[in-house]
Amino acid sequence: MEHITTPKVENVKLLDRYTNRKAANGTLYLTATHLIYVDASAEVRKETWILHHHIATVEKLPLTTAGYPLLIHCKNFHVAHFVIGQERDCHEVYTSLLKLSQPVKPEELYAFSYNPKMSKENREIGWKLIDLRVDYQRMGIPNDYWEITDLNKDYEVCNTYPPEIVVPRAANKAVVIGSSRFRSRGRIPVLSYLYKENNAAICRCSQPLSGFSARCLEDEQMLQAIREANPGSPFMYVVDTRPKLNAMANRAAGKGYENEDNYDNIRFKFIGIENIHVMRNSLQKLLEVCEMKSPSMSDFLTGLENSGWLRHIKAVMDASVFLAKAVKDEKASVLVHCSDGWDRTAQVCSLASLLLDPFYRTFKGFMVLIEKEWIAMGHKFSHRCSHLDGDPKEVSPVFTQFVECVWQLMQQFPCTFEFNERFLLEIHDHVYSCQFGNFLGTCHKEREELRIFEKTHSLWPFLLQKKQELRNPLYRGFTAYKELQPNTLPFSFQFWCGMYNRFDKGMHPKQRVLEHLLSCMSQKVQLEDSASELENKLPFLDGPLPGDTCSLSRVGNAASKTPMLNTPQDYEGDPPPGLSNGASAGYIPDTMSAVDQKHKENLSHHQDHSAAVAVVDSRPKDGQQQHH
């Protein structure tokens, strides 16, 4: 609280960027963790909360006739434009927010003070919810070719890898240690994902310290062990995700890429994904387009193209598709790296796993994927997300691009993910919020030093508590779709308004299909509960109801036999035939239960409207239109 000199400022205006509505007038509060704006001009109390850690920049604009403007840009793409009456108040709020949004020490991060009044036991259970050993066992590891080793338990092999890593059983300790000395930052080739159908593996590492001619026998033996762990293929791919020019420049600095002449039976391939600096600039240009007041169609499309953002998303997706096809169709193992193996490598390995394995498209599986490929393997969240006051050149939207790639897949395959868009946005918010300990620091070793597991809470139990509102009502279950083969032609990629203009209400659809479906499902559950409650009261009535049988009982029993098709055991036999948009022939969403069918039959005099009414009439009451 020592950074807050003015905790309350009255008569503050909040401008709306996209509508000509009159500016809101209210009170601005500064607390230890949030900026809170209370709109006094609204008929119903309306509050805007901005977490200090979400603030990316605070800017004082030139004086206007209305007062002193303060413009706040957030890391979750919220933009707040305040106008404060007094210059002194504006300057003090500005100074406070600069300090509050840029903590210097890790102990100042929100996670260390956040207290959800949870017992120590429950907190520990929350951290144990995701167990990566269980995921490796699900892949069939350990087996004849792969083993989970604790060679890195004291971080002697690599200080940015976790204590336990998966390596070929044929690679002994001398090979592992030798390879680590030949790889940038000691990040040796380790297993990321094993495709059980044919033993092809996706492995990841950093660039070799090869320069123009250096070689390492142990590193060559390590790659040979990976290739031989897949007996069904005579070769393996080595994929460098950098543009070739960038990799060649690294050669001059004593790093570089593998020489095919030195490694037996490898096929080397460049896939040009740009570096963190290009991506940071691209996002900045995209956000400038998003903030244009009244752009023409030409201005918007030209700005979107000039930002290069969707081109970069396509490049990441193309690389992931190449990996998935190599593993599934060519039955070949793949080793992936970029420079240090914690940015582009994390993107393509996690997305390729998502394409190959439906488990990673469930709530629990997606959490495991992030823990395994991003958190455990040392993506530098603290630097890339600017959690602490540091080098701005280290900041880059690497994880944001991954989340967007998943969203792009959800647009092409709307029935294959258990979760919806809100789930992705929640995770993205909390990567930057520092409210939970999962994304703090840069690697497992650093999190141990910060005592994250003792002093903070895990995000995953928090999200699972909100599972009902984060689920996808179109999800067809585990067995309906196995591998995904997305279209990566340019027209397949969309601008994600829900992410980059999420807080600009005037830009969103007036009606949203998924929100309507979720609302219908919620009402369905309420109706079933009411039916069950009424059914339980029937035995207490005096005498039987006219007609011997109780229609309500029949309805309740029918409804209870209509399960939610969301788990593998709910599907028996062959899945229904797939359609090009991810739906299936003859498929009726599980929102239409027996209760709804009965209700529909009783409304026979509304036959002409039956095609428009799916579950319940959710039109706004009193003729008022809903705005979301």
Please give the structure tokens belonging to residue 290. 């998003």
3-state helix, strand, coil in the chain (%, to 5): 45, 15, 40
Token pair belonging to 472: 């996808």
Is 338 a residue of the active site?
yes
* 350 Cβ contact partners less than 8 Å away, ≥ 6 residues apart: 360, 369, 370, 372, 373, 374, 402
Angle between helices 309-328 and 398-412 (to 10 degrees): 70
Contacts of 45 (CB under 8 A, 6+ apart): 38, 39
For residue 420, report the phi and psi dihedrals to the nearest 5 degrees. -110, -175
The neighbouring-strand residues paired with 58 are 72
How many whole angstroms separate alpha carbon 387 and alpha carbon 54? Answer: 9
| Collapsed DSSP state (helix, strand, coil) of residue 27 | strand
Q: 3-state class of 204 per DSSP?
A: strand
3-state DSSP call for residue 284? helix
How many CB atoms neighbour CB 212 within 10 A? 10
Angle 69-75-79 (CA atoms, 0-180°, nearest 5)? 30
Contact 333, 233 (CB under 8 A): yes
CA distances, 576 to each of 80, 190, 423 (Å): 48, 38, 27
DSSP-derived letter for residue 312 is H
Residues 585 and 534: their CA atoms lie apart, in Å, by 36
The whole-angstrom separation of Cα 437 and Cα 439 is: 6
Task: Give the residues across from 168 on adjacent strands.
Answer: 146
Q: Which of 338, 415, 434, 520 is catalytic?
A: 338
- Catalytic residue list: 338
